[in-house]
Chain A
């Protein structure tokens, strides 16, 4: 009796083992397919166009910087600002992204604008979102995602 029981237990464990891997793999693959969306446009406009959780912000930022980059001279200093109601703030995340999207320019921080030496001011400010209200800067170009300003010398 005991011997038969052992054989049966072994046989059922064997079946479990035999099917567990394919079943678990199938479950994971089905779950994987459910978290993916069908994207008709391949490749999308940017590498962040369909990141999760779904957000248009990163795509907007990358598109803006791609357009701004074409207008900036190599080696120029540029500050990336988030503008809301005329008030601009430094966005550390935007600063990081800009360093990669503007490889030929030097991306600098807001603190430069507080310097007593005007030569420290960034030559350009790329303002994502609303308009920049700073008498030291003049508008160069406007895009749907934001505007580019140049310092008045």
Chain B
């Protein structure tokens, strides 16, 4: 019963993010897309609200938490829906169904891996779940618990979104469900694929389903191999895909920029690495010369989210990671070892296939110039990973083994999007089929 209530509370999150559906035209048949989009908005809204309450010293109650987001959501329902444009979004065609069925099958395999406890992340037991459980019990982000010497290894200042969502669900269920926490991984995977497919379809209709299958295979395999269930990678990838998808596939307007902003806020509030991703993405936006207003719009929500969290941590003396504490001095002495270990773990026990296939597809595309900013995000993130591991720690080999293959998923995602963008603009297949169409 606890599991059902816990999952039920997680599945209620889209109710708090219905306003996201006003930011873009969504077809009537795009039910899963609506759910995923609203979920992202609801998760970010609830997370920021829980953080603000904790900053203000207000204890959470379910009623108190739902009032604000629900009111905003329902008020947004009345705002001008664009039904006429929604009609133009075509239903899924037969040619797409095979790829989508394949993607759904992969999600089911990941679900099996999760329920059979074959992809449980140790970090769920070490801190993600523990924090969520504790926050639910104390009805706040428990600063004293995070500051306790016994809990120093729990990364007290890691961004709190995942524990906050766990805490929300545990408050509703009146108990924490470890199985429920694990089952969020296939849920996030499914939503990531839904977002990608629906975004990509708006700009490259004929290929979106095919690319979605590849994304499902890459992420499904990586999530299971890296034991990511209950860890923060699935939500991080979800928010990163939302941000990149809106940035790349939607028209350049304020609405798509707000959607990007929600994705960036989710990423920055989910993992420390989210800050690096957001910085690189904002850098990419600046490269595209979108204008100061656009940049400010996209930065606003992540800046608010991170600002609140930094203030919370600073008030309670929890700022460690953001100050770079716990790491030794930067040194290139271990560069050979670090590069060797990183390369080994990047292989994902399948001879680097995810990287190779993405690289080949990118090389085969004719829109490589357009994809350069995404390549830069990926390379920038790789540089950050390398920079991190080059700091003197007691056992860098163990550190890399415990984290590298999960952390590498973000640059892999950026390169995947780069391949899609490169292929979208007249890749050979498209050129040939266009020629065929014209006889």
Contact = CB atoms under 8 A, between A and B. Distances in A.
B116 A21 contact: no
B432 A14 contact: yes
A20 B431 CA distance: 17
Interface residues of A, number: 47
A16 B357 CA distance: 11
A32 B217 CA distance: 9
Interface in A81-108: 92-93, 95-97, 99-101, 103, 107-108
B361 interface: yes
Contact of B227 (A10, A24, A51): A51
B125 A28 contact: no
B312 interface: no
A32 B221 contact: yes
A11 to B, nearest CB: 6
B151 A99 contact: yes
Interface in B190-226: 210-211, 213-214, 216-218, 220-221, 224-225
Given A14-B432, A21-B210, A22-B210, A47 B117 contact: yes
A46 interface: yes
B116 A24 contact: no
A71 interface: no
Interface in B297-319: none
B116 A43 contact: yes
Interface stretch (B53-61, B70-78, B126-134, B260-268): B126-134
Interface in A10-55: 10-11, 13-14, 16-18, 20-22, 24-29, 31-33, 35-37, 39, 42-44, 46-52
A112 B102 CA distance: 56
Nearest to A23: B357
B364 A29 contact: no
Contacts of B150: 95, 99, 107-109
Nearest to B223: A32
B249 interface: no
Contacts of B162: none
B360 interface: yes
A61 to B, nearest CB: 9
A17 B427 CA distance: 9
B335 interface: no
Contact of A103 (B133, B214, B423): B133
Chain B interface size band reads 35 or more
Contact of B213 (A10, A22, A47, A48): A22
State the main secondary structure of chain A at its contact with B: helix
A104 B134 CA distance: 9
B429 A51 contact: no
A28 B118 contact: no
Nearest to B121: A51
A142 B214 CA distance: 51
A26 B182 CA distance: 25
Contacts of A39: 116-118
Contacts of B116: 36-37, 39, 42-44, 50
Contact of B428 (A14, A99, A103): A14
Contacts of A130: none
Nearest to B365: A17
A27 B224 CA distance: 15
Given A11-B432, A24-B353, A42-B116, A48 B221 contact: no
B120 interface: yes
Contact of A28 (B151, B217, B360): B217
B178 interface: yes
Given A10-B428, A16-B364, A43-B116, A35 B224 contact: yes
B433 interface: yes
A128 B255 CA distance: 56
A17 B357 CA distance: 10
A32 B179 CA distance: 21
Query: Max chain B CB contacts within 10 Å: which of A11, A43, A47, A62?
Result: A47
B149 interface: yes
Contacts of A107: 150
Given A17-B423, A33-B109, A58-B122, A96 B210 contact: no
A26 B357 CA distance: 12
A125 B59 CA distance: 33
Contact of A10 (B99, B124, B214, B432): B432
Nearest to A28: B217
A7 B115 CA distance: 50
26 contacts: A13-B364, A14-B428, A14-B429, A17-B427, A18-B429, A21-B210, A21-B211, A21-B214, A21-B357, A22-B99, A28-B218, A28-B221, A28-B353, A29-B220, A31-B353, A32-B106, A32-B217, A32-B225, A36-B118, A39-B116, A42-B115, A46-B117, A47-B124, A47-B182, A50-B118, A96-B127
Given A48-B117, A96-B125, 12 more contacts: A22-B99, A25-B214, A28-B354, A29-B217, A31-B221, A42-B116, A43-B117, A47-B178, A48-B125, A49-B117, A51-B122, A95-B150
